[in-house]
Structure 1
Amino acid sequence: MSDVSLPDVAEDDLYGPDNLPYGVYTTDAAPDRRRIGVRYGSWVLDVGAAAAAADHPWAEVLSAPSLNPLLAAGRPAWREVRAAVRSWLTDAARREQLAADGLLLPLDASVTLHLPFEVADYVDFYASEHHASNLGRIFRPDSEPLTPNWKHMPIGYHGRAGTVVVSGTPVKRPSGQRKAPDAPVPDFGPSRRLDIEAEVGFVVGGATEPGTAVPQTALRDHVFGVCLLNDWSARDLQAWEYVPLGPFLGKSFTTSVSAWITPLDALDHARTEPPARSHELLPYLADGEGSGVEAAGLDLRITVRLNGEVISEPPFAAMYWTAAQQLAHMTVNGATLRPGDLFGSGTVSGPEVATRGCLLELTWAGRDPVELSTGKRTFLEDGDEVTLSAWAPGPNGTRIGLGEVTGRITPAA
């Protein structure tokens, strides 16, 4: 028995009983044993062991070393497990017993967090009208900012699942072909224009059969949870390679996600209507009044810090395309879903300079450096550390926290 004494979690804690995000962790005492944990304040519950002790029907799934079996179990299991965990943690006597039995551990240096799920496929979208318009003005100043298709469908690309990493993993500066505007041919070397993209990721559970299209109304059946995501981008590599196809080496080197996945059901009080549509949408993408689709926008307040200093606060509520529309679009051709699929929202940007979600926009392609107490930045330098954090409105005036995403730039090999 442990002599750990468990304090109450404050009502304003971002990780209280209305949140309960999932992660995977090891301890110094058992570094080779990965366990599914649920965060409660500054504590982590060994949910598999707790479920086994309670003879819970999903105990075996919860004793896996990753979230994938739980993702595959589907929404009825997700709801049943969440209700059970909430009841255990909101019962003071049960909570004290869990701590005494060593199943509720403090999140301190003895706990290491890992990538919480095995990524099956990774898709990234381009869903912010402000971001897309800014990039259009930067790269095509003599043309319309948005391409003709942008307001008719969510634009996206397939990324590289194998380079999705957990928060805290160092980000090695990538190398590749770069071509200066006045150079006759490209050269090869480390990226000189390394950037961030502040995004929100959606983790998929329920699988589909080939040829099945997932309607917007089935979002809750297939999206298990939400996390913050940083889609690191080498803008110089990207600029040279992306015509005529799209992002490749400039994106595929690293994508960072939070160690904690917040259940989609925890964000019910953050649901909001997306911006008004300026174009009529095809039926499978239509939302709003008369569509039968519930409000699928999310009021998430994101903060971007560079070396500890706030440089932007992008509002996710301003995103033009919702997760429900993105899910519907990426399956409308019959593409399958698998447990562990991840799709990113695309860079989150708002209408003001201080709400832009990447350095390319914040500095206007390097023209207007970001001012830090330690000096100016146009793009990232070796040793720079970027942290994304966010919260959403919860019930009764509470706030729901999303796990932070941090990465530090290390030199190219």
Structure 2
Amino acid sequence: MAPTELLQASVPIDPNCRADGAATARHANRPLPGREATSITIGQRLRPYFGTLHSHTAESDGRGTVNEAFEMAREVAKLDFFAVTDHAEFWLLDKEARYGQQKLKADAWARHDFVTLYGFEYSHPYYGHYTVLNADHVHHAFEDYGIPDFYLWLKQPEQVQALVMFAHPGFHDYRIGSEFDHFALDATLVDRFVGVETIHWSEYLRYFRGYFGNSPYIDEANQIGWRLGAVGSQDVHYADWGTRDGTRIVALMPKLSRQDLIDALKARHFYATNNRDLYFAMQALKVDGSWATMGDQLSAAESPQETLTIKTRFYDADCQEPPRRLELLVNGRVVGVYEFPPPQGTLYYAAELTAKVPLDRRQLPPRFSVYVRLYQGTETYTQSSPIFFG
């Protein structure tokens, strides 16, 4: 498959982008005028909501209280949604009671404009860490010998609501050879494992290498048979929930509610970014003329056979970081690039770009995935969840 240049279809520039209050208004997610009436996607009316779903307090190895975490996330960071996910291994003697308190506090902090989830981090010293959300019960690594034991617990009827994310793959060098058993597949849990962290502590380049150095971790996992979206994770330990940097997981939802957030996670309708202001969408044209959204799974009958049309839209409200480069990837391989022109007066803080990618079915497996990566300034990065074909 030859590299394909991304063709810029249109560049709508927000005339109010440089207004003094633009960044302040966007950082204060509540209220955001017009957001309920505006969508970033084509077809489905989905809007971006910003949050973090991996954080810690003094209930495990972090600082501060659970109540302080929710208060800072809502009142200071102005997040739309938030979860505390303390390490369950700190609760050996009273795990259910401690987790029960976490759930009660999460429920108590929920508001119509602030969604809370509860969860925990399962932290195996040899096989890696997992973020578990929406689980009715809690489980820690000292109860298990290996990954199959943890997966067996997840399959129990009592845990059917739990959603799981692979946390910071490759972060701890000492377990590179064993972590997640290199994404060994359990086909019965594919629907429940919704994501993998692709940004952690604002770092993203480390996640390009994978366990075998040929493709990013997310692609290694998805090529095995998982269906994982891209997660941005602050993994806060120092009582700076949502405020330390701009790393977010951004969920595309019709409205803000706990059920809509859970549905968005299940659908992989989310993207990872370290830009706290970026509205972002990646979609693919289906054979019936409608548009699939990042995270969607298309059957062979819905998928184009010869040319794939991908449309990317973004809007950056604070006007601080002009876009530099957009990449389109198929199964972890860059097949299309658009280099934004250097800023000269007019800056590309909002744009829509279209790529037409010829598909050589002889070189593609029956199942493949497509996603985009956007680079802004020197350190700002956004990655869509893939669209899955086949």
When normalised by structure 2's length, the TM-score is 0.29
User: Could you say which structure has the larger radius of gyration?
Assistant: 1
When normalised by structure 1's length, the TM-score is 0.27
